[in-house]
Chains A and B, each alone.
Chain A
Amino acid sequence: MSSSPPPSSAAASPSCPKKMIALRSSDGETFEIEEAAALQSKTLENMIDEDCAGTPIPLPNVTGKILAKVVEFCSKHAEPGVDDESLRAWDAEFVNVEQATVFDYILAANFLEIPTLLNLTCNVVADMIRGKTPDEIRKFFNIKSIFSPEEEEEVRRENHWAFE
């Protein structure tokens, strides 16, 4: 069966409590996450494999506010017996948040290597961009940055087929 568990976890028995991993956010908050849920993150999976799972794993790139939600996402996606349709609906609600929060989720998903979360959040951003003109995209995302008139003309010429 499984190899001998690390010293800090509960002993194996038929109704043993699930193995929990501790995570610490950049602002010092601690969160517990079931191992099965943690394995959604390739980064965490590697750390668990290397047996660092005894002490809280420090995640300097993720704040407590975001980490709480990421833990929630991973736990939901590790839940057994959830049908596709309900999971999709849950995901839609999960990303029904402010633009800035979606970007934070992307950064966390990137850093923690959670493909499902990365895919979900990138889809959201793609949907925000789709069908908009460059001006509309700038307004929507509050993007500054100006091309010089020559650059503007050049890039429009290069991509004019995208506007027909």
Chain B
Amino acid sequence: MELESVGDLALNLILTKLGPENVGRVACVNRKLRLSADEEALWSRFCSEELHLSAPLDPRGDPLPSFKAAYKKWREDFRMYPWPLVKRVKRCWDRLQGWLLTNFPDAAATLREGASEADIQELESVLRVKLPLPTRILYRFHDGQDFDESDFTENTPGGSLGIIGGYSFYGYVVNVNLLPLSKVIMETNHVVQHLGFSSRSNYIVVAASSTSGEKLFFLNCRDGQLHVGTRNLPFDGEMMPCVPKSLISSVHDRNADLQQDAMLLWLEEHGRRLQSGMIKLREDGGVRSICLFPEEPPLCSTAITNGVRIRSSAVFVPEHSDLQNEYLFAYSIRMSLIPEGCMANEMPCNFCQLYRRHWIIRANDAVVAHVNGDGAIGKFPLLHSGGKEFVYESCTHLKSPRGSIEGAFTFVPGRMADPKGSFFSVQVAQFPLQLPDYVF
């Protein structure tokens, strides 16, 4: 009784259980087993399970004649890295790219092809650093983002296609994109010189806001942490970490069980937030961009009073904060009138207009400011029932990294020029201001 005689069904089941590496070895045993081990159904399954491939494509996306050939190409192209880490990085990019292709194809189109090992080695030699393993693999899949002339218009002087996205308030616009290796070299040389970092510095610039030179993300190649420059960056090089330090491990050790650096963790978290709808695409004046103001509780609060819905959330602005006593938070308020309208003198009314605002700002749990004012950022938006949200952004400084804002708006049913009833107060439910564990 021999192994080969157990029958094709059983052999296939055994090989399926063994996984690709062992099946590759079984193929080398004898002719009969090689035939069973080479079956396309097996390799189609392995390609699907490990690489989520439904067609035999190589890492560049070009077709190959069989799933077995495709699997082999992937393993060969990435043979210098731990395979589980390669699969994890692919999953991370698949999630990001998947979301972009569905929701923001213009930005998906800016993702460049993967860098080659030679490209990476060149960067390492020019900047005299050694990239952490997960970051190397991230660049092997996509070498940052590419923009062309048409991405910069009058409306989007800095571009709006950054896949990290950003925020805007009072005309200050942030939109962060991932730099290709060529720009990483340029920016790092420029910044490091400019800021007076030592030439043996381990920092490289990996992401930046295209709209303002003020927001820069630095990867520390030695320990794998990602940092963003604070407002003191130009003076004393102050930066803050973007990812919880405890999660970073074994960034240069090919033999470790688990390697994760800040770049990988950061992009994985970003992908999760996009997919869960915690952050979404924003359209403003015909321009679409990824907006970092949270859209879901607990970071985004919602309250409906007399038909007026107010959604509010804040985002931490690191590049205008410092770590001693100045924390800047931007917040976004979205207001709308439900389709049933508001009530005025016991009659439904299809319009209402913002008249005044009142905020209570807390640092930790202590009230630090009351704000009373007319309208909001100088505007008196008119809401009509079932209409689009009116959105505006503003900001506030806190002396501590934790606080909250709550308040109320005063509305008039109808319009101020033609009121249909008396003023009514609309709640802005409390929303948190907090230094996040992941900083984008």
In whole angstroms, what is the CA distance A164 to B72 when docked? Answer: 12
In whole angstroms, what is the CA distance A110 to B32 when docked? Answer: 19
- Knowing A106-B7, A129-B14, A129-B18, the reply to whether A137 touches B25 (Cβ < 8 A) is yes
- Knowing A122-B13, A122-B14, A137-B26, the reply to whether A143 touches B1 (Cβ < 8 A) is no
Q: Are A118 and B13 interface neighbours, CB within 8 A?
A: yes
Q: Are B76 and A161 interface neighbours, CB within 8 A?
A: yes
Q: Are A162 and B18 interface neighbours, CB within 8 A?
A: no
B60: chain A residues within 8 A (beta carbon): none
Q: Are A110 and B2 interface neighbours, CB within 8 A?
A: no
Contact of B14 among A126, A134, A142, A146 (CB under 8 A): A126
- Knowing A103-B5, A106-B7, A107-B7, the reply to whether A159 touches B76 (Cβ < 8 A) is no
B13: chain A residues within 8 A (beta carbon): 118-119, 122
Interface string of B1-42 (1 = CB under 8 A from A): 111111101100110011011111111111111100000000
Contact of B27 among A106, A133, A159 (CB under 8 A): A159
Q: Are A130 and B22 interface neighbours, CB within 8 A?
A: yes
Does B75 touch A at the CB level, under 8 Å? Answer: yes
In whole angstroms, what is the CA distance A104 to B20 when docked? Answer: 26
A162: chain B residues within 8 A (beta carbon): 20-25, 75
In whole angstroms, what is the CA distance A147 to B28 when docked? Answer: 9
Contact of A107 among B4, B6, B24, B27 (CB under 8 A): B6
A19 to chain B, nearest CB (A): 30
In whole angstroms, what is the CA distance A146 to B32 when docked? Answer: 11
A1: chain B residues within 8 A (beta carbon): none
Q: Are B27 and A125 interface neighbours, CB within 8 A?
A: no
Number of interface residues of A (CB under 8 A): 40
In whole angstroms, what is the CA distance A103 to B5 when docked? Answer: 8
B29: chain A residues within 8 A (beta carbon): 134, 137-138, 143
A156: chain B residues within 8 A (beta carbon): 28
- Knowing A131-B22, A141-B3, the reply to whether A125 touches B14 (Cβ < 8 A) is yes
Q: Are B18 and A100 interface neighbours, CB within 8 A?
A: no
Q: Are A151 and B9 interface neighbours, CB within 8 A?
A: no
Which chain B residue lies CB-closest to A113?
Answer: B9
Does B194 touch A at the CB level, under 8 Å? Answer: no
- Knowing A126-B14, A131-B22, A158-B72, the reply to whether A106 touches B6 (Cβ < 8 A) is yes
Does B200 touch A at the CB level, under 8 Å? Answer: no
Chain B facing A: main interface SS: helix
Residue among B2, B7, B26, B28 having the largest count of chain A Cβ atoms under 10 Å: B28
In whole angstroms, what is the CA distance A11 to B79 when docked? Answer: 68
In whole angstroms, what is the CA distance A144 to B18 when docked? Answer: 22
In whole angstroms, what is the CA distance A130 to B17 when docked? Answer: 10
B33: chain A residues within 8 A (beta carbon): 143
Contact of A104 among B1, B17, B21, B28 (CB under 8 A): B1
In whole angstroms, what is the CA distance A31 to B34 when docked? Answer: 39
In whole angstroms, what is the CA distance A159 to B21 when docked? Answer: 9
In whole angstroms, what is the CA distance A32 to B33 when docked? Answer: 38
In whole angstroms, what is the CA distance A19 to B32 when docked? Answer: 44
B428 to chain A, nearest CB (A): 54
- Knowing A106-B10, A129-B14, the reply to whether A143 touches B24 (Cβ < 8 A) is no
Q: Are A161 and B79 interface neighbours, CB within 8 A?
A: yes
A97: chain B residues within 8 A (beta carbon): none
In whole angstroms, what is the CA distance A104 to B13 when docked? Answer: 16
B156 to chain A, nearest CB (A): 45
In whole angstroms, what is the CA distance A56 to B221 when docked? Answer: 74
In whole angstroms, what is the CA distance A121 to B21 when docked? Answer: 21
Q: Are A103 and B22 interface neighbours, CB within 8 A?
A: no
In whole angstroms, what is the CA distance A4 to B23 when docked? Answer: 51
Contact of A125 among B6, B28, B30 (CB under 8 A): B6
In whole angstroms, what is the CA distance A159 to B34 when docked? Answer: 11
In whole angstroms, what is the CA distance A100 to B6 when docked? Answer: 10
Contact of A164 among B7, B18, B26, B79 (CB under 8 A): B79
- Knowing A103-B1, A119-B13, A129-B18, the reply to whether A155 touches B79 (Cβ < 8 A) is no
Q: Are A132 and B17 interface neighbours, CB within 8 A?
A: no
Does A96 touch B at the CB level, under 8 Å? Answer: no
In whole angstroms, what is the CA distance A102 to B18 when docked? Answer: 17
In whole angstroms, what is the CA distance A143 to B20 when docked? Answer: 21
A138: chain B residues within 8 A (beta carbon): 29-30
Q: Are A163 and B25 interface neighbours, CB within 8 A?
A: yes
B68 to chain A, nearest CB (A): 8
A123: chain B residues within 8 A (beta carbon): 17
B6 to chain A, nearest CB (A): 5
A91 to chain B, nearest CB (A): 15
B26: chain A residues within 8 A (beta carbon): 129, 134, 137
A131: chain B residues within 8 A (beta carbon): 22
Residue among A121, A129, A163 having the largest count of chain B Cβ atoms under 10 Å: A129
Which chain A residue lies CB-closest to B80?
Answer: A164
In whole angstroms, what is the CA distance A152 to B31 when docked? Answer: 10
B348 to chain A, nearest CB (A): 61
A164: chain B residues within 8 A (beta carbon): 79
**Chain B: residues with CB nearer than 8 A to chain A?**
1-7, 9-10, 13-14, 17-18, 20-34, 72, 75-76, 79
Given contacts A131-B22, A142-B2, A159-B27, 12 further A-B contacts (CB under 8 A): A103-B1, A103-B2, A107-B5, A110-B6, A110-B9, A122-B14, A137-B26, A137-B29, A138-B30, A143-B33, A155-B34, A162-B25
Give 8 CB contacts A-B under 8 Å.
A125-B3, A126-B14, A134-B26, A137-B29, A141-B2, A143-B30, A145-B32, A147-B30
